Structure 1
């Protein structure tokens, strides 16, 4: 086993057989942290965004914070209820994409897919960047290196997911459940202190907030509504990730739909409880929170705070005050919150590869995305997502405040089209159903999806109005770009399939086969190619050499005559010392003289075992094959001759690979006996 193979096995583990796919399916207790970590982690930054928006009008606007929390909770409840209908109706894992494609058409499905792709990329970028910012706040040495830390985190998360969904889920279960316990524990203790009249103030309660420019005076109705709409749209970041479960139903254990629906319900209850509790407690504890770039609007005794002031996140401030008598509790909350922000990206790493495999199956994405890796995960999709997330992190320098403006748009586009598709689905089912009990259930489901569509449509309009100039336009452009690329990919696959469709004329045999063996010198590879070409029994067989050196060509002709070959050797003169063009032109001329015949070009080449040895030899054979592949009517046959290093490499490959033996297909896979070749 080579160094590369050893490194790969250490990184992602031993290979798994296809028959072991069932062993990677997830029970609910593991599926919850795997698929819900993104939505749950939104609690770590959604409250921050709500208070940042409201702070533009000063402290007085914080009175609306709990109302915005309730509004976001209602939207989340409607979306969760709607997706519970989706996982039952479409359990194959296509989620929003499948719903839109089946019920609204291919273009709507492609639009949803584009929105989800952008959302998954932003999920990784935002979550990892938030985690990197938490790390830099806790460790001063990391400051000003957030982007580098974020890239390292993405690479580490990628490696964990390449090991397989079950192993990644098991590794992430403990910190996710710890985060739930930390936030809910803080919320319960805070409520108890509030009820007893002992609720402390947060560290920022002593500050005042100067309203943003243009918002100093009392706001009129229109300005106030716009401000509340901005705060509401920012708070709706808490909904990101709830669709991941509908895209990951195939990863659940049976009964898949029931387990996925139960996990969705648990996700909704936990996320709503945590978000509302944190926002209500923060308001009651006197929180003062502004955009990190606007800390000059924070005043202490009338004096603006400088940039040197460190503004802790909302959760950190609430936890520090609630656990003031027990510091380990505060540190526990902060640590698991920073950790969950990193692990939240795991939701995208599980959702995107499944979506990518479905898109590849339908011809809208490269087919490589549908291939499972050594650990039965969709490795190519995982790597693609990681690369795109790293590009976003570096482009925005891991600044969460800038990245968050691109968020939400994509997910709410998919929400709307999915809900509309589900309404059409139930309408179609009702038209064919006669059983009264089933009809009542279908009508109930359609009502739920109608409510979900109403809520998500309102949110989408609000988000587009309030966030378009703040960065949402970038998301829309990205969606348009992916839409064009995906339609082009589908067009290519359709054209190839049409062109490759077999017809009766394809059964006709060629009238003649003109075979030529390329000769550079008389050695073992040449003799093997000549013997193999003769064994194919072509109508015409000749050897061909390209003359770039008259003296070397004369020696070759002399040796050819001395060996008394019964095959003629044709010399192609090349005054400009080109090797490839004369062969291509000669083969094309033969083909042109007999359009119904074929030209078979046999290329002898020797194989080395080490990559550094290949650097010592020219790659004429490789370049010639690449040119001949584009020449109509020409067949290219490579005749390899393994050198000693090549034979050693072949032996290594045989010893490290599982080879099929005769009868293995009938006996359900490779036998445990000796491998072929030993």
Structure 2
């Protein structure tokens, strides 16, 4: 039943030799890997206006030059990451670039930042998508967290079904969103050009604003730069592209940059001309759509597609997080389980971990995206800076043909990324201070895991040491009564022709101990029985004391102690809860005794 349900939800297992069929073409890759960046036009412009509004609505004209600055930064990052794609065609992005060129710790800073960022990608995107839905249907506001968690579960299950299947489903909403946004921007520009939008709605460009400062403008620019999250995802996911991977990834990256630039400038411009001011109950995109076409059918299409793209933007995290986790796992900085492919050939452990972490974040922050976006953005610009600095060092060290131009491109990307990262730290310190705590903790955890794997490897590696001689075996059989289960276990122990078999019985009553000894002598006179009276009704404690005593004696004689545990297996799974699991408890306790071998002899019930 469990297997049937899993196949129904996730699908039939795929053969390993069909992995090549799970690669993405450019059209699907653009949808699945660019959804995070494209979706940020739904909240990036709003973040600029939120900062400017603290001064005055007159300051909204500054959103235009700030938007241009964001697009310039976008262009620098696009061309910089294009260099990364061709230099590191096997993927890995900022983590691999930083590790190979700036050292292990720099790589771990980049990798740790991106792991957290992809978790935040899912939490922010889904929460923002939920906000878009509740903007159109205000009665749903109290259910924000529930709706967001539901979307995360759906996305997790969809990605467990495989990369190509999720891409096939998600491509349509992404391209529909782009088309709808272009139509909305076109309608808005037409309204402005034909004079249907009163000029007094927007402050004139260049109008002096009392109280404006460089600090406010830098803060607004940093907030708007949150629209650039997800730009690096394509460089991480090159292994997901069909051959030639780097060439297809590069074209996809350029297409994403062009679309994002057009949509971002368009939304910021319309917000300026319509005089849109952010409010808690309705998003900026919702207000633009209502101002452009009214609350008609197209308005709800805009809100619906915006909600879809914001929710589906989380899929960028689902595409990039597992691949980054694989690279960290191969370097033994995180558990090896992240390298395991699931039934549908995806890295299912990474997908499940990402979904669980995102749900926890949504619940902790009560689905409030404004609290997560600054932390989300600063976690991106740290890897941005390290990746570009790593590429600078690579070109300077290797000096390939045309390296000067490549060095210049990455230098521009590194400088701008560093400046934006510093802006976040200076202007949004109250929101981003957790970075200074969790990032060192993550790096420390990486090193501890690496140290553990190194220690395990040293201990498991074959060497020329001789193994200790075993002169014989002593079997200890814990028994709970005279039953077929015990009889089956003793029969197996006798078949191995061991030196000594000792049955051990714990009695909670002294009369019971005497009675059991008499029955045992009549039933198994050739097997020594040791009984122990336990006045506090403990089973494992007396057994462990006895085992330790026997083990101490066997060390002197060179004998090996083996505990043989009788266990009956019920026919049906739910029957297990009807019986105490003393055999499992004994086994779990003995696992920590390094000098004792544990065996379980199962007896299967048929009714």
Shift, 1:555, TM fit: 4.1
Shift, 1:261, TM fit: 1.2
1:418-452 Cα shifts (integer Å, max 9, x gaps): 1111222223332xxxxxxxx22333322221111
Q: In structure 2, what is the equivalent of residue 452 of structure 1?
A: 413
- Write the distance in 2 (CA, Å) between the matches of 1:92 and 1:506: 43
Q: In structure 2, what is the equivalent of residue 258 of structure 1?
A: 247
Mapped contact 1:108–1:417 kept (Cα < 8 A): yes
- Write the distance in 2 (CA, Å) between the matches of 1:262 and 1:48: 29
Shift, 1:573, TM fit: 4.2
Q: Relative to structure 1, is the Cα distance of residues 505 and 572 closer, same or farther in structure 2, using a 3 angstrom cutoff?
A: farther
Q: In structure 2, what is the equivalent of residue 617 of structure 1?
A: 579
1:270-322 Cα shifts (integer Å, max 9, x gaps): 10111112222332x242314x26xxxxxxxxxxxxxxxx5x43333333444
Shift, 1:343, TM fit: 0.8
2:566 to 597, 604, 611: 604
- Write the distance in 1 (CA, Å) between the matches of 2:228 and 2:302: 22
1:368 to 316, 319, 337: 337
Mapping of residues 273-352 of structure 1, within 5 Å: 273-283=262-272, 285-290=273-278, 292=279, 312-323=282-293, 327-352=296-321
TM-score w.r.t. the length of structure 1 is 0.83
Q: Relative to structure 1, is the Cα distance of residues 25 and 483 closer, same or farther in structure 2, using a 3 angstrom cutoff?
A: same
Q: In structure 1, what is the equivalent of residue 363 of structure 2?
A: 394
1:227-251 Cα shifts (integer Å, max 9, x gaps): 1101100110111011111111111
Q: In structure 2, what is the equivalent of residue 200 of structure 1?
A: 196
Q: Relative to structure 1, is the Cα distance of residues 254 and 227 closer, same or farther in structure 2, using a 3 angstrom cutoff?
A: same
2:121 to 107, 120, 123: 123
Shift, 1:191, TM fit: 4.1
Shift, 1:161, TM fit: 1.5
Q: How many pairs does the alignment contain?
A: 602
Q: In structure 2, what is the equivalent of residue 416 of structure 1?
A: 385
1:207-243 Cα shifts (integer Å, max 9, x gaps): 999xxxxxx9734xxx521111011001101110111
1:627-656 Cα shifts (integer Å, max 9, x gaps): 2111231101011111115xxxxxxxxxxx
Mapped contact 2:562–2:599 kept (Cα < 8 A): yes
- Write the distance in 2 (CA, Å) between the matches of 1:208 and 1:193: 17
Q: In structure 1, what is the equivalent of residue 54 of structure 2?
A: 56
Matched, 1:247 2:239: no
Q: In structure 2, what is the equivalent of residue 474 of structure 1?
A: 434
TM-score w.r.t. the length of structure 2 is 0.93
1:365-424 Cα shifts (integer Å, max 9, x gaps): 223322222222222222222222222222222222222232211100111111111222
Q: Relative to structure 1, is the Cα distance of residues 641 and 207 closer, same or farther in structure 2, using a 3 angstrom cutoff?
A: same
SS for the counterpart of 1:600 is strand
Mapped contact 1:190–1:199 kept (Cα < 8 A): no
- Write the distance in 2 (CA, Å) between the matches of 1:340 and 1:410: 22
Mapped contact 1:588–1:631 kept (Cα < 8 A): no
Matched, 1:234 2:223: yes
Q: In structure 2, what is the equivalent of residue 218 of structure 1?
A: 210
1:94-152 Cα shifts (integer Å, max 9, x gaps): 22111112222221121112211221122112111111111112123302221222112
Q: In structure 1, what is the equivalent of residue 348 of structure 2?
A: 379
Q: In structure 2, what is the equivalent of residue 98 of structure 1?
A: 96
Mapped contact 1:205–1:286 kept (Cα < 8 A): no
More divergent stretch after superposition (449-458 vs 61-70): 61-70
Mapped contact 2:126–2:311 kept (Cα < 8 A): yes
Matched, 1:533 2:525: no
Mapped contact 2:506–2:531 kept (Cα < 8 A): yes
- Write the distance in 2 (CA, Å) between the matches of 1:191 and 1:170: 33
- Write the distance in 1 (CA, Å) between the matches of 2:433 and 2:591: 44
- Write the distance in 1 (CA, Å) between the matches of 2:55 and 2:554: 83
Aligned residues: CA RMSD: 2.5
Q: Relative to structure 1, is the Cα distance of residues 41 and 423 closer, same or farther in structure 2, using a 3 angstrom cutoff?
A: same
Structure 2 unaligned regions, length at least 5: none
Q: In structure 1, what is the equivalent of residue 454 of structure 2?
A: 494
Shift, 1:622, TM fit: 1.0
Q: In structure 1, what is the equivalent of residue 404 of structure 2?
A: 443
1:545-568 Cα shifts (integer Å, max 9, x gaps): 334334444444334333455333
More divergent stretch after superposition (83-92 vs 357-366): 357-366
Matched, 1:503 2:472: no
Shift, 1:40, TM fit: 0.3
1:463 to 410, 424, 427: 424
- Write the distance in 2 (CA, Å) between the matches of 1:240 and 1:200: 35
Matched, 1:114 2:106: no
SS for the counterpart of 2:444 is helix
Q: In structure 2, what is the equivalent of residue 655 of structure 1?
A: none
- Write the distance in 1 (CA, Å) between the matches of 2:197 and 2:494: 92
1:319-343 Cα shifts (integer Å, max 9, x gaps): 344446x944433222211211111
Q: In structure 2, what is the equivalent of residue 5 of structure 1?
A: 3
Mapped contact 1:200–1:322 kept (Cα < 8 A): no
Mapped contact 1:426–1:445 kept (Cα < 8 A): yes
- Write the distance in 1 (CA, Å) between the matches of 2:140 and 2:588: 49
- Write the distance in 2 (CA, Å) between the matches of 1:17 and 1:637: 35
1:1-28 Cα shifts (integer Å, max 9, x gaps): x2x3333222222222222222221111
Q: In structure 2, what is the equivalent of residue 523 of structure 1?
A: 483
SS for the counterpart of 1:408 is helix
Q: In structure 2, what is the equivalent of residue 673 of structure 1?
A: none
Q: In structure 2, what is the equivalent of residue 662 of structure 1?
A: none
Q: In structure 2, what is the equivalent of residue 638 of structure 1?
A: 600
More divergent stretch after superposition (605-614 vs 122-131): 605-614
